[in-house]
């Protein structure tokens, strides 16, 4: 997948860390002299403490660098908090090494690296899945990376596989032809996004003579022309040990592991290809402009204007910046936080608070040869882009003229430092940080140096970098002006900064064949420490789960309130989300800016999100700031006041967001799919519309909050570096006086019958080039006795495109879809069985027909014992790996409590999966798969209107 989340709110080292998490299905957002002196001094001390004391212990203090005789750089870091390990190989080559005509070849090769080797002629996705490895890959501007996280007993197996494909990958004509179709399908998905198309046009204008101006994933025209010899030559030139970095982080012994690495990799020869050290092509060098490390760019005096089908107006401004090694980078990142991070930020105040824009995001990108500062503004309804551009320029000029306060600078530095720490809580992220630093700037210790420099940034430095780089004449601006309105929807914004793959198996291979190609591995799974959360219940009914974890100086908070969208009135759909989204807009004692500032001063985050069965609370902080996070959480859930001005501003932003959503095929398909399954009056049938959002009044919000936000329907869970008794006492002090009034509201979901036949719906979205299909019907709930068998069945069918039947047939063998997945969405109430795929419009009917054939085959013939055992092993391994990530761990703890499951479910679920039998899986297939009673919704180009499902 060509992941697209350009607007991360982190410095360069965190680009990849923030992006790979999104693949799970997931991204980010930010603000009297003597009075502030004490605060600034405290913040400065805190920032210094974080950067100087905490960071080395979590990033590079225990890192060991070794260079083998063949040039392979090896970075190892022992982390013994869980019996898992991550293995990553980063090649110093990316789209920077391309030119027009071969744009996208690095990305195409990345896909081919999963197609098998001379020694193992099998899709590597199958091998990774059989090992239970959480594996993936991406291509970026400066590098291509492959990564997998597994239980520690499978470390050597991963090393063997990576060494094999470093030298022996097969690139055959038939495989290339199939995978080119997959890549083109992927690119078509990005083309659906107006933001992607605008960014591509602007970047080409900013860097007309450098590969940074090319889209990382390539173009359809170039991909179609790739020949086997071209891709093979690129592979020989760049894939060799002396152009690669191997990173291992996790639970292993360094000395023994280094011996294994030498045994596995030392026999690989150095590369012989031209450009193997990652040098750019001559076309890519460009001339240097003002400021060290800034590549000269084209800056049109008038905006680039795209008038194309779409929904919202967009403005994008790009300013060339220096490369990552230049000394101005830390000040530029601090500047970005001051300008755009949070409600107190300068551009938020100028554009969003004024109603001109519904959103403003920005990022500093600092790469090997150059960089840029990118600002994206989503215009408010009926707002003029020229006016927005004028206000944007004036706001930046005002900062340059009048300067920034010490308080703003210290707050931004603390936020930035905390973001680095909070983004390095799991071993995969820590390895990503090391790999990115080593391949981009040539020093795995870069982030430590960077944070030390951030600590020294002063207000005058912010003014200096704005005057140096954010000159109006240096920027390139693009406007996206939609040519028509639509009644359709949008999902995640794509990101041209890197690709993130989701590979599935290739030509169908019997499960018995997979074992033949697996490297030797001890199949005995390491015992996972049976540490369980402590559970408490207060007199007002609030439930609390606490699990101390001293591995990092952070705390992760997750919570649930039974106040989800299922309670939306039919004529006021969107009310539950309205309440959740406005909780932080003010309380009886604090206004919205005060709340935002309190969080920002400590680099903490707090967010509320309404979904079907509840409101999900997410919070993060450093250990020393947990009391503040809990104080604000308690204040907003008990005392939120919903000021009228902020509510109306939120309404306008929500209306704009709805317009954008109704321009995205995935959201259109999802909405129509759900409404085709669930009848009117069902809690799941209702979706927000412009009319329903306009109907919501302030009193509705206040009443909903009073009725549904209650301690006896609230669960809080915390994992992190804290003392059990102290945190329990803190929470009791903050939440103990939260009163219960009356009985908690309840809902009874009506029974929904299966469709009597195939229901096919094809909503048309003009201007889109990729189709998105949703297929399915009503499913099961979490308490269904078939739940664990359904997990195994789904794993075989399409739960993991690394090893699924759907992936093997529809994606790899036929090349019809970039991504195809299935899931049983089981909650307190019956959810849906869902298959989602993305296809070229001309392939949609064939892909749907192939999917139904696979469903029919499994429904009638069942699956094999070996498939069941392989799926069980994969599920159990993946689950054990997930427990090493604090965010995944805490969500599992939380939802087990929400569903009323015993807390031992955290570990006993693997035993339940292990006990699933072939008979149970095949019975579930007969009872839960219904290929002839299915709803199929395909949203996309108009060509679909002429096609019928076969």
Average pLDDT (757-771) is 89
**pLDDT digit string, tens, across residues 716-736:** 999 999 999 999 999 999 999
Is the pLDDT at 465 greater than 70? The verdict is: yes
Is the pLDDT at 167 greater than 80? The verdict is: yes
Range with lowest mean pLDDT among 46-50, 159-163, 860-864: 46-50
Measured at the CA of 459, the angle between CA 457 and CA 463, to 5 degrees, comes to 105
Residues 6+ apart with CB under 8 A from 825: 779, 831, 832, 833, 834
- Predicted local confidence at residue 808, as pLDDT: 86
CB 662 within 8 A of CB 487: yes
Distance CA 934, CA 912 (A): 30
CB 293 within 8 A of CB 440: no
Distance CA 279, CA 58 (A): 32
- Rounded to the nearest angstrom, the gap between the alpha carbon of residue 435 and the centroid of all alpha carbons in its chain is 19
Average pLDDT (673-700) is 94
Average pLDDT (869-873) is 92
Using pLDDT thresholds of 50, 70 and 90, give the confidence band for residue 277.
Answer: very low
Is the pLDDT at 182 greater than 80? The verdict is: yes
**pLDDT digit string, tens, across residues 67-79:** 999 999 999 999 9
Name the residue with tokens 């100086």.
553
Is the pLDDT at 838 greater than 50? The verdict is: yes
Is the pLDDT at 536 greater than 70? The verdict is: yes
Residues 6+ apart with CB under 8 A from 678: 684, 685, 752, 778
- Predicted local confidence at residue 527, as pLDDT: 59
Is the pLDDT at 486 greater than 50? The verdict is: no
From 126, 248, 167, select the one nearest 515 (Cα to Cα): 126
Measured at the CA of 624, the angle between CA 618 and CA 625, to 5 degrees, comes to 45
**pLDDT digit string, tens, across residues 348-379:** 999 999 999 999 999 999 999 999 999 999 99
Average pLDDT (790-819) is 88
Percentage of the residues of the chain whose pLDDT score is greater than 90: 76
From 718, 719, 620, select the one nearest 422 (Cα to Cα): 620
Using pLDDT thresholds of 50, 70 and 90, give the confidence band for residue 515.
Answer: confident
- Rounded to the nearest angstrom, the gap between the alpha carbon of residue 356 and the centroid of all alpha carbons in its chain is 28
Quote the mean pLDDT of the chain.
87
Write the DSSP symbol of residue 550. T
Q: What would the 3-class secondary structure string for 494-522 be? A: CCCCECCCCCCCCCCCCHHHHHHHCCCCC
Residues 6+ apart with CB under 8 A from 221: none
- Predicted local confidence at residue 61, as pLDDT: 85
Q: At 67, which helix (H) or strand (E)?
A: strand 63-67
Is the pLDDT at 832 greater than 50? The verdict is: yes
Average pLDDT (568-591) is 96
Helices and strands (DSSP H and E) totals, the chain: 34, 22
Is the pLDDT at 290 greater than 80? The verdict is: no
CB 558 within 8 A of CB 897: no
Is the pLDDT at 202 greater than 90? The verdict is: yes
Is the pLDDT at 39 greater than 80? The verdict is: no
Is the pLDDT at 292 greater than 50? The verdict is: no
Distance CA 420, CA 60 (A): 13
From 880, 876, 873, select the one nearest 529 (Cα to Cα): 880
- Rounded to the nearest angstrom, the gap between the alpha carbon of residue 400 and the centroid of all alpha carbons in its chain is 34
Is the pLDDT at 4 greater than 60? The verdict is: no
User: What is the DSSP annotation of 609-676?
Assistant: EEETTEEEEEEEEEGGGHHHHHHHHHHHHHHB---HHHHHHHHHHHHHHHHHHBT-HHHHHHHHHHHH
Range with lowest mean pLDDT among 30-34, 112-116, 841-845: 30-34
Is the pLDDT at 621 greater than 80? The verdict is: yes
- Predicted local confidence at residue 41, as pLDDT: 35
Range with lowest mean pLDDT among 308-317, 425-434, 523-532, 871-880: 523-532
Is the pLDDT at 300 greater than 70? The verdict is: no
**pLDDT digit string, tens, across residues 916-946:** 999 999 999 999 999 999 999 999 986 544 4
Phi first, then psi: what are they for 335, rounded to 5°?
-55, -45
- Predicted local confidence at residue 250, as pLDDT: 95
Percentage of the residues of the chain whose pLDDT score is greater than 70: 86
Measured at the CA of 362, the angle between CA 24 and CA 382, to 5 degrees, comes to 100
- Predicted local confidence at residue 48, as pLDDT: 40
- Predicted local confidence at residue 52, as pLDDT: 40
CB 617 within 8 A of CB 580: no
Is the pLDDT at 37 greater than 80? The verdict is: no
Give the pair of three-digit tokens for residue 813: 């063998």
Is the pLDDT at 311 greater than 80? The verdict is: yes
Using pLDDT thresholds of 50, 70 and 90, give the confidence band for residue 547.
Answer: very high
- Predicted local confidence at residue 21, as pLDDT: 26
């Amino acid at each position: 997948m060509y992941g697209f989340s350009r607007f991360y709110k982190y410095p360069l080292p965190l680009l990849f860390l923030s992006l790979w998490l999104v693949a799970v299905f997931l991204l980010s957002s930010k603000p009297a002299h003597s009075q502030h002196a004490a605060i600034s001094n405290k913040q400065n001390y805190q920032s210094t403490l974080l950067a100087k004391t905490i960071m080395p212990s979590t990033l590079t203090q225990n890192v060991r660098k070794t260079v083998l005789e063949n040039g392979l750089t090896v970075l190892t870091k022992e982390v013994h908090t869980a019996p898992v390990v991550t293995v990553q190989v980063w090649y110093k080559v990316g789209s920077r090494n391309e030119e027009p005509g071969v744009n996208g070849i690095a990305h195409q090769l990345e896909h081919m690296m999963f197609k098998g080797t001379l020694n193992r002629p099998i899709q590597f996705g199958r091998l990774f899945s059989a090992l239970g490895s959480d594996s993936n890959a991406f291509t970026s501007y400066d590098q291509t990376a492959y990564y997998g996280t597994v239980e520690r007993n499978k470390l050597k197996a991963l090393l063997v596989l990576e060494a094999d494909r470093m030298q022996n990958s097969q690139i055959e004509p038939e495989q290339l032809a199939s995978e080119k179709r997959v890549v083109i399908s992927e690119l078509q998905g990005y083309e659906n996004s107006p933001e992607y198309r605008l960014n591509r046009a602007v970047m080409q204008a900013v860097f007309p003579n450098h590969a940074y101006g090319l889209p990382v994933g390539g173009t359809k025209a170039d991909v179609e022309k790739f020949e086997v010899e071209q891709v093979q030559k690129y592979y020989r030139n760049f894939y060799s040990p002396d152009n690669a970095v191997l990173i291992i982080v996790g639970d292993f012994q360094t000395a023994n592991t280094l011996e294994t690495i030498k045994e596995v990799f030392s026999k690989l020869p150095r590369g012989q290809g031209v450009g193997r050290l990652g040098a750019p092509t001559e076309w890519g060098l460009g001339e240097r402009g003002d400021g060290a490390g800034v590549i000269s760019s084209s800056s049109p005096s008038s905006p680039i204007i795209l008038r194309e089908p779409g929904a919202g107006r967009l403005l994008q401004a790009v300013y060339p910046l220096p490369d990552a090694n230049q000394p101005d980078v830390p000040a530029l990142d601090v500047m970005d936080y001051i300008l755009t991070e949070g409600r107190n930020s300068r551009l938020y105040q100028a554009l969003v608070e004024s109603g001109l824009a519904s959103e403003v995001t920005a990022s500093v990108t600092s790469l090997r040869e150059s960089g840029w500062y990118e600002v994206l503004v989503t215009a408010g309804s009926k707002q003029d882009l020229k006016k927005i551009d004028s206000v944007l320029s004036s706001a930046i000029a005002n900062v340059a003229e009048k300067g920034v306060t010490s308080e703003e600078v210290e707050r931004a530095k603390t936020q930035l430092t905390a973001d680095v720490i909070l983004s390095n809580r799991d071993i995969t992220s820590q390895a990503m940080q090391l790999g990115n630093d080593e391949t981009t700037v040539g020093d795995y210790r870069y982030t430590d140096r960077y944070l030390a420099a951030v600590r020294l940034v002063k207000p005058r430095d912010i003014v200096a970098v704005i005057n140096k780089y954010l000159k109006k004449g240096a920027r390139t601006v693009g406007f996206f002006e939609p040519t028509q309105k639509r009644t359709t929807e949008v999902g995640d914004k794509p990101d041209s900064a890197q690709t993130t793959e989701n590979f599935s198996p290739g030509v169908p291979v019997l499960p018995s064949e997979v074992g033949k190609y697996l490297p030797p591995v001890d199949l005995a799974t390491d015992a996972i420490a049976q540490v369980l959360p402590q559970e408490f219940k207060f007199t007002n009914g609030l439930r609390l789960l606490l699990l101390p974890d001293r591995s990092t100086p952070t705390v992760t908070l997750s919570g649930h309130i039974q106040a989800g969208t299922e309670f939306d009135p039919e004529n006021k759909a969107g009310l539950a989300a309205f309440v959740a989204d406005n909780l932080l807009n003010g309380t009886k004692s604090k206004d919205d800016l005060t709340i935002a500032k309190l969080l920002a001063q400590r680099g903490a985050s707090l967010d509320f999100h309404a979904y079907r069965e509840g409101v999900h609370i997410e919070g993060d902080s450093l250990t020393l700031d947990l009391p503040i996070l809990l104080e604000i959480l308690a204040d907003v859930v008990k005392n939120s006041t919903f000021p009228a001005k902020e509510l109306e501003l939120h309404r306008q932003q929500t209306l704009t967001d709805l317009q954008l959503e109704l321009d995205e095929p995935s959201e259109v398909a999802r909405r129509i799919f759900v409404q085709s399954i669930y009848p009117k009056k069902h809690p799941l049938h209702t979706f927000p519309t412009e009319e329903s959002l306009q109907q919501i009044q302030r009193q509705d919000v206040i009443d909903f909050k009073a009725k549904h936000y209650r301690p006896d329907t609230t669960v809080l869970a915390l994992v992190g570096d804290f003392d059990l008794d102290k945190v329990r006492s803190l929470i009791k002090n903050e939440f103990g006086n939260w009163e219960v009034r009356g009985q908690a509201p309840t809902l009874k979901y009506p029974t929904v019958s299966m469709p009597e036949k195939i229901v096919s719906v094809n909503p048309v979205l003009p201007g889109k080039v990729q189709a998105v299909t949703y297929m399915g019907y009503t499913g099961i709930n979490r308490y269904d006795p078939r739940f664990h068998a359904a997990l195994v069945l789904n794993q075989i069918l399409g739960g993991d495109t690394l090893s699924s039947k759907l992936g093997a047939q529809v994606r790899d063998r036929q090349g019809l879809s970039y991504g195809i997945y299935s899931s049983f969405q089981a909650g307190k109430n019956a959810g849906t069985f869902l298959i989602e795929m993305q296809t070229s419009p001309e392939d949609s009917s064939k892909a749907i027909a192939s999917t139904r054939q696979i469903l029919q085959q499994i429904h009638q013939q069942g699956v094999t014992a070996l498939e069941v055992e392989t799926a069980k092993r994969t599920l159990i391994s993946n689950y054990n790996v997930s427990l090493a990530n604090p965010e995944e761990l805490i969500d599992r703890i939380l939802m087990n409590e929400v569903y009323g499951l015993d807390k031992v479910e955290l570990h006993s679920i693997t035993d339940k999966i292990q006990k699933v039998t072939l008979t149970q899986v095949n019975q579930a297939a007969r009872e839960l798969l219904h290929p002839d009673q299915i709803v199929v919704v395909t949203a996309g180009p108009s060509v679909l209107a002429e096609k019928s499902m076969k």
